[in-house]
């Protein structure tokens, strides 16, 4: 007798095949049978024609710190995700020497939009090495499965200390870093991740350590994956990093390369498509390169105390480097404002904010006299007063002690262009950034948004292709065995949803981080169940089941 049968479902198996009616049986956490008649079970659930699919594999998350205090990886576990991949961009917390803990946390405050107080209160530092980190996570249990990249910035800091932010590495330092990557691969890392992106800065605008790495350092560290014969190389690409260079690494190591973050920029609209064309050319030569794209518009909520959208501007650096008490003086300075305006006039390959003031709105005013302005664009509000948009925004924020909340649609706002990117043959749909930018945005429900907005509302792709992108395709690219497809013998990581209603809900602000700090989250709509290794964690109402068992696993075995 089976443990569970989900009967009368429309089965989208994650391979890209059209959904078919049937039932699925689970025994001992694995899929035991799929068909019309799968036999009796201790528990039978009637799907009533809803879609039964593999659970979502979220390939781009940043739960590295959060997982040490939150074993459920909220909110992803309530949004259809059954496997989360952490360590993206190389912004990890392991390995980490005790002397470098504060430095590591300070890095994350800017590059990942995390509160230093939350990190100091929350991170459990009962580890130093990468193997110890995985063992600690494993020992505490998990609500969903987790795979981890070993991260370049952490490895650089471990070997070079404060100098990791300041200079290129010596040959001996590179050798020490390569040994750490090799150690992590032996312990079960899914690969190696880094970033060369200009917008990736630590506290006070200091470049993240990986941005100081020369090409020979990156080549040596990715080479450790070639030696291991498994693992993926993931990077967030800066303007100076070329696709041909990444193709060389794929050729030399035989490992797949996942290139992030290919987000459409309306002021420089062909950049992402040029990257995708070069990736396609590399694939035609037998190199496994993939462009990581998002189905979500990149939207940020922010105040001028922590204005992440502007921190990729060189002219904004004085504000990034200043303590909070000096920000008002800097924002009032005419030369600062002029420098920002001049930089925004110059096009950039990679930049979050590109002077599109009509896409930047006043979300919440702090002074009652400004409340009537909420919901309007900075462009329109500035024009009404005959002012420059930057001046208007800064003047209002100064009047409100920098507590005004703005929201900006930064990238991926052209749906025709984004639809083309999502349907590119070599697109890797991900980029939720779940676990990071907690006060700026929440795209943890990217998979439900793909299924609802792009499949049902826009008809941009068939449902079976969208499910494949979120499940089987991710497993194939990253070499995750036994997950991502509904096949007999695979793990019973399952998601049940109503295709007529599935979506991510409206953003909500909750105060459940360590110390009661706030974060943005979003509920699931049309999700009627999630199972991890055969155990149900999300109920019929689409919410996490209280006291559900911790059946998630640290994944350590990956395909060559």
User: What superfamily does domain 56-297+412-480 belong to in CATH?
Assistant: Metal-dependent hydrolases (3.20.20.140)
Q: What is the pLDDT of residue 311?
A: 83
What's the chain's Rg over C-alpha atoms? 23
Burial class (CB in 10 A: 0-12, 13-18, 19+), 205: middle
Instruction: Identify the segments of the chain with pLDDT beneath 50.
Output: none
Q: What is the pLDDT of residue 349?
A: 72
Q: What is the pLDDT of residue 397?
A: 97
**pTM of the full structure:** 0.94
Q: What is the pLDDT of residue 306?
A: 87
Q: What is the DSSP string of 496-510?
A: EE-TTT-EE---EEE
The single-letter DSSP state of residue 434 is B
Domain boundaries, the chain: 56-297+412-480, 301-408
Q: What is the pLDDT of residue 441?
A: 87
Give the C-alpha separation, 354 to 560, whole Å.
41
Give the C-alpha separation, 359 to 425, whole Å.
30
Kindly report the CA angle at 387 between 384 and 389, in degrees rounded to 5?
95
Give the C-alpha separation, 56 to 209, whole Å.
31
Give the C-alpha separation, 323 to 332, whole Å.
15
Q: Is 96 helix (H, G, I), strand (E, B) or coil?
A: coil
The beta strands (E) that lie in 130-240 are given as: 145-151, 191-195, 232-236
Q: Which long-range contacts (CB under 8 A, 24 or more apart) does 509-517 make?
A: 512/74, 513/115, 513/118, 513/122, 513/438, 514/69, 514/118, 514/121, 514/122, 515/117, 515/118, 515/121, 515/122, 517/115, 517/117, 517/118
Kindly report the CA angle at 344 between 347 and 208, in degrees rounded to 5?
85
- Tell me the pairing of strands 524-525 and 427-429: unpaired
130 prior amide bond cis, ω within 30: no
Give the C-alpha separation, 317 to 328, whole Å.
14
């Amino acid at each position: 007798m089976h443990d569970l049968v989900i009967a009368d479902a429309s089965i989208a198996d994650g391979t890209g095949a059209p959904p078919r009616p049937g039932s699925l049986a689970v025994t001992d956490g694995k899929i035991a049978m799929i068909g019309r008649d799968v036999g009796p079970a201790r528990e039978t659930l009637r799907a009533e024609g809803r879609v039964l699919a593999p659970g979502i594999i979220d390939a781009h998350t940043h739960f590295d710190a959060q997982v040490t205090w939150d074993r459920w990886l909220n909110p992803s576990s309530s949004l259809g995700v059954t496997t989360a991949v952490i360590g993206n961009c190389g912004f990890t917390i392991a390995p980490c020497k005790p002397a470098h803990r504060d430095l590591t946390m300070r890095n994350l405050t800017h590059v990942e939009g995390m509160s230093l107080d939350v990190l100091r209160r929350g991170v459990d530092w009962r580890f130093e090495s990468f193997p110890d980190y995985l063992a600690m996570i494993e020992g505490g249990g998990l609500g969903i499965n987790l795979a981890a990249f070993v991260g370049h910035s952490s490895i650089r800091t471990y070997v070079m200390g404060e100098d990791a932010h300041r200079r290129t590495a010596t040959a001996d330092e590179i050798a020490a870093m390569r040994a750490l990557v090799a150690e992590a691969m032996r312990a079960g890392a899914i690969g190696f991740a880094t970033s060369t992106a200009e917008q990736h800065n630590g506290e006070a605008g200091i470049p993240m350590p990986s941005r100081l790495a020369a090409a020979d350092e990156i080549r040596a560290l990715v080479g450790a994956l070639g030696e291991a014969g498994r693992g993926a190389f993931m990077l967030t690409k800066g303007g100076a990093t070329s696709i041909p260079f990444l193709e060389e690494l794929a050729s030399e190591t035989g490992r797949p390369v996942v290139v992030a973050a290919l987000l459409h920029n309306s002021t420089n609209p062909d950049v992402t498509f040029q990257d995708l064309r070069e990736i396609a050319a590399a694939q035609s030569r037998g190199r496994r390169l993939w462009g990581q794209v998002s189905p979500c518009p990149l939207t940020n909520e922010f105040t001028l105390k922590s204005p992440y959208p502007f921190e990729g501007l060189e002219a904004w650096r004085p504000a990034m480097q200043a303590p909070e008490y000096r920000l008002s003086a800097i924002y009032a300075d005419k030369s600062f404002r002029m420098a920002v305006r001049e930089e925004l006039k110059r096009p950039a390959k990679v930049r979050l904010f590109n002077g599109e003031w009509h896409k930047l709105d006043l979300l919440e005013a702090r002074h009652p006299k400004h409340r009537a302005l909420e919901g309007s664009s900075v462009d329109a509000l500035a024009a009404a007063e005959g002012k420059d948009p930057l001046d208007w925004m800064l003047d209002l924020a100064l009047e409100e002690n920098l507590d005004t909340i703005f929201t900006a649609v930064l990238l991926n706002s052209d749906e025709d262009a984004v639809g083309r990117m999502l349907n590119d043959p070599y697109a890797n749909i991900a980029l939720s950034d779940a676990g990071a930018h907690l006060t700026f945005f929440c795209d943890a429900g990217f998979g439900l948004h793909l299924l609802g907005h792009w499949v049902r509302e826009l008809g941009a792709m068939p449902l079976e292709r969208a499910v494949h992108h979120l499940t089987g395709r991710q497993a194939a690219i990253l070499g995750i065995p036994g997950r991502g497809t509904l096949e007999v013998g695979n793990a019973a990581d399952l998601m049940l949803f109503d295709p007529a209603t599935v979506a991510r809900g409206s953003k909500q602000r909750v105060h459940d981080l360590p110390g009661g700090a706030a974060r943005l989250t979003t509920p699931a709509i049309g999700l009627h169940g999630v199972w991890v290794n055969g155990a149900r964690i999300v109920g019929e109402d689409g919410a996490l089941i209280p006291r559900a068992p911790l059946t998630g696993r640290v994944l350590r075995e990956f395909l060559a």
